[in-house]
Amino acid sequence: VALKVLKPALIADESAFQRFVREAQTVASLFHPHIATVLDMGESKEGRYFIAMRYIDGESLDKVIAAGALKWDVALKITEQIASALEFAHGRGLIHRDVKPSNIIVGKEEGAVLTDFGLVKAMQQSGSMSLTGGMLGTPYYIPPEIWLGKEATPAADLYELACVLAEMLTGKVLFPGDTSPAVMTRHVMIGP
C-alpha cells in the first residue's frame, strides 16, 4: 500500500481534516483501474491520520516529463487512461479539481493512475473547501473559469488534462509564470 498522512498542523484546521476524511470516503467508492483506490483510513497511536491506498509500482508523471518530452503515442495513451478515470469519477458526480503530472503515477503494469482526490468536490455541493477560502488547484493547470470565480465542472478537469497533455508533448508547462497572478493572466487572457 501507499500511505498519505495528514500533516499534524492541519489537524487543528477543521476544514482540512474534513477534506481529508472526504477524500478517503470519496476515493474508497471509486473502483477503476486508473484511479488509486483507497483501501483504509485511520489514526495511528501518535494521533496521525492516514489513508492507505493501492500502491502503484511506477513514478509520477512529473518525474517522467522531467526526463524529456514524451512521444505522441505514449502521451496519448496516458491521456486516454486518465480521461477514462475522470469519466468514471464524473459519472459518479465527482470532480478531481487538481489534475496535474504529480497526481498521475505511471505504473509498470497499470499504466497511468490518477491519485490525490484531496480536492475532489461533489458536483451537488456548493462552497469552497480551501484552507484559506480561496480557490483550490495548482496554478499551472487551473482553467480560466475557475480563475474567474466560477464553480468547477467536469470541463475543468478536462482543461487540466489538456494542460498536462501539452506538457507531456513539450516538456514545459503550457502557461508559465513566476507568480500565481502571472499564470492566471496567461490562462484567462491567452488561453483557449
In this prediction, residue 20 carries a pLDDT of 67
In this prediction, residue 190 carries a pLDDT of 67
The catalytic residue among 57, 73, 98, 178 is: 98
Distance CA 136, CA 97 (A): 7
60-88 pLDDT, tens digit each:
999 999 999 999 999 999 999 999 999 99
**Residue 178 in grid coordinates:** 513566476
Q: What's the mean per-residue pLDDT of the chain?
A: 83
Q: Which of 27, 5, 2 is nearest to 119 (CA)?
A: 27
Active site residue 116: no
94-148 pLDDT, tens digit each:
888 899 999 999 998 999 999 987 555 544 343 433 333 344 568 899 898 888 8
In this prediction, residue 44 carries a pLDDT of 81
- Of all residues in the chain, the percent with pLDDT exceeding 90 is 40
- Kindly state the average pLDDT of the residues 28-33: 87
Distance CA 142, CA 163 (A): 9
